[in-house]
Structure 1
Amino acid sequence: MLKFVRWGLVALVGLMVLAFAVIYGGSEIIIRSKPETPMPTIVAASDPGAVARGAYIGRVSGCDGCHERNLQGGPWGGDFWQGSVYTANLTRVVPHYTDSQLARAIRSGVRADGTQLWAMPSETWTTMTDAEVADVIAWLRTHSPAGPDRPRETFGPLGRLNILLGRAKSTPAWVADAKAHPAVEVGPQFARGRHLAVTVCGECHNSDLKGREGGAPDLLIAASYDLPGFTKLLRTGVAMDGKEKGLMSEVSKANFSAFTEADIAALHAYLTARAEKQ
């Protein structure tokens, strides 16, 4: 009997080792893969208003939220089982990237060495115009190197299993999904608002603005706000019921409060028109 138990334990250990090898090896192939992504020909803008425009985009889009106001990044979360994510210290990364490489990283989620980024929401910015990207790069290049380098993301056992099963996706995979599921068009007069909704709201509410299961809702909810109420939400984080709404309120106070009145109006007009079309 002891002999059978011993052999059973040996077999069990062998299966566990095999499973680990399959999960680690398979996920590592995905992690190290280099997607074929065209290199855009974009040069940092140099006109007098470029840096200010880039800073505005960086603020409302949350660049200086994830990467901190000083753009030096830091730990973003995680644990042994899932892995750990750090936001990059952009002040130290940017000098090692060409303008074209930065543009590709922003809109496609690919590093200078061709490997895939993870947890970088490039799917939100894949429709960002060349001019906007050029402004953002101009703004990024005004920050002198400071602070510590941040490590790359790590992948724990469950994180690797989720990658292998397709439950966890790299940034380029999210970009491809966003391109396949665009937000609805409601006419050229709402183009600015649609663009803002996709490039600013899409990170939480998905590229098609239909929300995420168990997360942010479909932005049809925006139609329940009049313009003053919508403006108050974005400026203060206070909803029409007089209460704050978790992450939405945090992002509103930290980032959306920087929106111009014109952009708030354009965003509200598009979201209202979108709701009427549904």
Structure 2
Amino acid sequence: MKQTLKWILSIFLTLFILLIGGMTFVYFLSNTRMNRTFPVIEGTISIPTDVSSKEEGKRLFLSRGCIDCHGKNLAGQVFIDDPAMGRFTGTNLTKGLGGLEEKTTDFDLARGIRQGVAFDGRALLFMPSSDFQGMSDEEVGKLIAYIRSVPPVNHQIEQQKVGPLARILFVLGELPLLVSANIINHSVSAPKQVKAALTPEYGRYVAATCSGCHGPEFSGGPIPGAPPDWPHAQNITSTGIGHWTESNFIQAIRTGIRPDGSKIRPPMSWQNLGYMNDLELKAIWLFLNTLPTKTNK
């Protein structure tokens, strides 16, 4: 009996040591990857000053989902708070206390949006820059014009905290959006301008915003980094919406109601995507119809 007990205790002790060693390794490796820095780069980007450009920047801010993390007043907010995944917040983008540093230039903002890198070369956490890396200089300029026009808000955002499950998934390559700067090709330049047109190519350009949740192949499935109670993203290839019409698609985005009468559940922010204009939505529909059939994840 004593020998059996010693054997059981020995197994538990071995497993405990392996667990501690494993978590120490995960913590070290994830910290190394999260704390990666990138060269500080100086540059310029043209920022319009006219009212219509700022209004278009606001529409982009809403329709591209920036509001979900940075809030209506751009002062930042908690968008994930889960013991296993961690606590993640959007940056205060205003000039109030707790907001953007004075040294943050327009070019720094553009780099943060498209490359996930802060003004000092730090990699930003959970900034979905892989969705925006192809955004044109023209649109980024209008977006920044709007950001710069918003009144200062004093708001010290809560410190971000990466939970144990997020660290494990990150190390295993299942949570690349935790540090999108690590998966972006920083040598590729974004286009100066993208002409809005009723084409699948323009639809692909706009739909890049959707890939963070629906995946690079738009086949849906678990949303990377999402708490377990979040629903899976829908498959929006022909497998998932092949029976829809263009009007069904636009109605779902505008009203949050699918053709079968079911409601689109959060975190799908259809209210914000509803700020997309008809041309953008019709172009996305054309693009989605060019996608090969993909099975649900």
TM-score range, shorter chain: 0.7 to 0.9
Segments of structure 2 that go 5 or more residues without pairing to the other structure are 189-196, 223-231
2:225 matched to 1:207? no
In the other structure, the counterpart of 1:119 is 126
User: Structure 1 222/95 Cα, relative in aligned 2: closer, same or farther at 3 Å?
Assistant: farther
Q: Using the TM superposition, give the Cα deviation of residue 125 of structure 1 relative to its aligned residue in structure 2, in angstroms.
A: 0.7
User: Structure 1 165/262 Cα, relative in aligned 2: closer, same or farther at 3 Å?
Assistant: closer
Q: Using the TM superposition, give the Cα deviation of residue 269 of structure 1 relative to its aligned residue in structure 2, in angstroms.
A: 2.5
Provide the C-alpha distance between the structure 2 equivalents of 1:140 and 1:191, rounded to a whole number of angstroms: 28
What does residue range 237-276 of structure 1 map to in structure 2 within 5 Å?
237-247=256-266, 250-252=268-270, 254-274=271-291
User: Structure 1 103/38 Cα, relative in aligned 2: closer, same or farther at 3 Å?
Assistant: same
Alignment coverage as a number of residue pairs:
262
Provide the C-alpha distance between the structure 2 equivalents of 1:273 and 1:82, rounded to a whole number of angstroms: 35
In the other structure, the counterpart of 1:22 is 25
TM-score (norm 2): 0.75
Which segment drifts farther, 36-45 or 137-146?
36-45
2:205 matched to 1:195? yes
Q: Using the TM superposition, give the Cα deviation of residue 62 of structure 1 relative to its aligned residue in structure 2, in angstroms.
A: 0.8
In the other structure, the counterpart of 1:183 is none
Provide the C-alpha distance between the structure 1 equivalents of 2:154 and 2:58, rounded to a whole number of angstroms: 20
Provide the C-alpha distance between the structure 2 equivalents of 1:222 and 1:10, rounded to a whole number of angstroms: 52
Query: Which one of the candidate residues 140, 152, 168 is aligned to 1:133?
Result: 140
Q: Using the TM superposition, give the Cα deviation of residue 206 of structure 1 relative to its aligned residue in structure 2, in angstroms.
A: 2.1
SS at match of 1:162: helix
Q: Using the TM superposition, give the Cα deviation of residue 122 of structure 1 relative to its aligned residue in structure 2, in angstroms.
A: 1.1
User: Structure 1 204/37 Cα, relative in aligned 2: closer, same or farther at 3 Å?
Assistant: farther
Provide the C-alpha distance between the structure 2 equivalents of 1:227 and 1:85, rounded to a whole number of angstroms: 36
SS at match of 2:94: helix
In the other structure, the counterpart of 1:233 is 252
Provide the C-alpha distance between the structure 2 equivalents of 1:188 and 1:256, rounded to a whole number of angstroms: 18
- Conserved? CA contact 1:222–1:271, under 8 Å: no
Q: Using the TM superposition, give the Cα deviation of residue 164 of structure 1 relative to its aligned residue in structure 2, in angstroms.
A: 3.1
SS at match of 1:78: strand
Q: Using the TM superposition, give the Cα deviation of residue 102 of structure 1 relative to its aligned residue in structure 2, in angstroms.
A: 0.5
What does residue range 49-198 of structure 1 map to in structure 2 within 5 Å?
49-92=52-95, 93-94=99-100, 96=102, 97-169=104-176, 170-175=179-184, 189-198=199-208
RMSD, aligned α-carbons: 3.2
Provide the C-alpha distance between the structure 1 equivalents of 2:152 and 2:159, rounded to a whole number of angstroms: 18
Q: Which amino acid aligns with 1:260?
A: N
- Conserved? CA contact 2:199–2:283, under 8 Å: no
2:234 matched to 1:216? yes
Q: Using the TM superposition, give the Cα deviation of residue 66 of structure 1 relative to its aligned residue in structure 2, in angstroms.
A: 2.2
Segments of structure 1 that go 5 or more residues without pairing to the other structure are 180-186
Provide the C-alpha distance between the structure 2 equivalents of 1:205 and 1:16, rounded to a whole number of angstroms: 33
Q: Using the TM superposition, give the Cα deviation of residue 95 of structure 1 relative to its aligned residue in structure 2, in angstroms.
A: 5.1
- Conserved? CA contact 1:124–1:207, under 8 Å: no
> 1:198-235: per-residue Cα shift (whole Å, max 9, x none)?
2x322221234343455331433444322222221111
Q: Using the TM superposition, give the Cα deviation of residue 261 of structure 1 relative to its aligned residue in structure 2, in angstroms.
A: 2.2
Provide the C-alpha distance between the structure 1 equivalents of 2:249 and 2:16, rounded to a whole number of angstroms: 58
- Conserved? CA contact 2:92–2:155, under 8 Å: yes
- Conserved? CA contact 2:81–2:87, under 8 Å: yes
- Conserved? CA contact 1:108–1:126, under 8 Å: yes
Q: Which has the higher helix share?
A: 1
User: Structure 1 69/16 Cα, relative in aligned 2: closer, same or farther at 3 Å?
Assistant: same
